[in-house]
Amino acid sequence: MNIHQLLDQLSENFKSFPPSSTKSTMLYDSVKLQRILLGKEAAGVFSDKEHVNKLDTISGKFGSLTSVMHKNPEEGYAEYKLFEQADLHQLEEYDYLYVKQWVLSVEALYYYKIKDFKRAFNLTLECISLCDMMISMGMTTLVLRLIEQNKNLARIYLAGGNLQKSWKFEFEILNYLFNGEQTMLFGMTIREPRIWTSIEYIREGYAYEYVRGLIHSIVNSKQNENDKAAMFYEIFNDLTFVVNTPDRKIIRDWLNLFASYYAEDYLAFLTELTELLQAETTLIYDILKILALIQVKTIIEKSNYLLSEELYSEINHYSETAITAYDYLKPLIYKPEKTAKSHGNQSGILFPESA
């Protein structure tokens, strides 16, 4: 078949593609488990419940601080300084260390926003060091936060123009999440095998989320198609992992799909996409369906497909009736020049994507 015939087939098959399922392929709710464990982080070190609640209340202020910082760095920084004066320096010993690692992340975000990348990098390293200390004391769920701080380092490299280093960091993070291996990430505790195995359930769910977020970042970045292809290749090409869960199988299939697209093997891409859409998947993978349909639009335009309006109509109907999650992303299928808002994340203070 040629590209036009495969597009014809895809258009016809939309009528038979099943809708997203609300039934998870995982045997547990990793996000819910993650929230429960994160809510008990401080309890791993501080036994007094009232004490723990106090620290959680103080730490909770960082969510609103981060939101303000993203919109208005100077206003956010002013609020941060008031908080620092009123709360941070009233703390002592391990209380101070626990809250300080959140503080450093917010301060790093400010310098990232004003493009002082060296200062942002150094503050992030300090944050990682404190996370390391708290993990060694028993707060193992902070490993995900340590990983996200490495993600922030990747974004600093990206914003500073060091694309290769940024992509390498992304690969290293994925290789750690899936395999427990890494060579260049910051943080001593993640080099201990017992740490990787101690957070197996939340780490596994987080790995699936991380892949979905990375593909979203690549497809919707402001880079040209050649740079997107290079980014995908550098991050995912050498990533291998044991396919021993249903979700790992799903992730591997979708990675193969996008690899075909970025290799400009559109025949393979359209064939594989049809096969993937024929399988019922849980709604958390709707994001990958939407991103793949954005690529279909590009193929339609490149191949001068004559029945484009009919195919767009089928895509539109499928999007409205079968895709139930990520409603805010659906317009991207038709207006891909707009950039969708970034996903939520475990810590709430990841740096924004940068082209």
User: Which of 100, 197, 110, 195 lies closest to 152 in space, CA to CA?
Assistant: 110
Could you give the 3-state DSSP secondary structure of residue 123?
helix
Q: Which tokens in the block code for residue 50? A: 């009232």
Q: pLDDT-based confidence at 22, cuts 50/70/90? A: confident
Across the range 27-53, mean pLDDT stands at: 62
Residue found under tokens 């497909």:
305
Q: pLDDT-based confidence at 82, cuts 50/70/90? A: confident
Q: Which segment of 238-242, 297-301, 306-310, 338-342 scores lowest on mean pLDDT?
A: 338-342
Q: Residues with Cβ < 8 Å from 306, sequence gap 6 or more?
A: 4
Q: Which tokens in the block code for residue 142? A: 């902070």
Across the range 41-69, mean pLDDT stands at: 70
Beta strands in 181-241 (DSSP E): none
Q: Residues with Cβ < 8 Å from 173, sequence gap 6 or more?
A: 147, 150, 151, 154, 182, 185, 210
Predicted local distance difference test score (pLDDT) of residue 29 = 61
Q: Are 192 and 20 in contact (CB under 8 A)?
A: no
Q: pLDDT-based confidence at 21, cuts 50/70/90? A: confident
DSSP secondary structure of 158-212: HHTT-HHHHHHHHHHHHHHHHHS--SS-S-SGGGSHHHHHHTHHHHHHHHHHHHH
Give per-residue pLDDT as tens, 196-212: 888 787 888 889 989 99
Predicted local distance difference test score (pLDDT) of residue 34 = 60
| C-alpha to C-alpha distance for 118 and 184, rounded to whole angstroms | 18
Predicted local distance difference test score (pLDDT) of residue 324 = 72
* Chain length of the chain: 355
Give per-residue pLDDT as tens, 269-318: 999 999 999 988 888 888 899 899 989 989 999 999 888 889 988 988 88
- Looking at residue 137, the DSSP 8-state letter turns out to be T
Q: pLDDT-based confidence at 248, cuts 50/70/90? A: very high
DSSP secondary structure of 34-92: HHHHHHTTGGGT---HHHHHHHHHHHHHHHHHHHHHHH-HHHHHHHHHHHHHHTGGG--
Predicted local distance difference test score (pLDDT) of residue 46 = 65
Q: Are 272 and 256 in contact (CB under 8 A)?
A: yes
Helix axes 117-136, 93-113, angle to 10 degrees: 150
The chain-wide mean pLDDT, for the chain, equals: 82
Residue 35 has pLDDT above 70, yes or no: no
Residue of higher predicted confidence among 221 and 62: 221
Q: Which H helix or E strand runs over 311?
A: helix 308-322
| C-alpha to C-alpha distance for 208 and 216, rounded to whole angstroms | 13
| C-alpha to C-alpha distance for 246 and 113, rounded to whole angstroms | 39
Paired with 282 in beta bridges are 21
Half-sphere CA count of 74, side-chain side, radius 13 A: 0
Across the range 6-25, mean pLDDT stands at: 86
Residue 355 has pLDDT above 50, yes or no: no
User: Which of 251, 333, 254 lies closest to 295 in space, CA to CA?
Assistant: 333
Residue 45 has pLDDT above 90, yes or no: no
Q: Which segment of 27-41, 221-235, 253-267 scores lowest on mean pLDDT?
A: 27-41
Across the range 121-128, mean pLDDT stands at: 96
Residue of higher predicted confidence among 232 and 342: 232
Across the range 133-159, mean pLDDT stands at: 88
Residue 353 has pLDDT above 50, yes or no: no
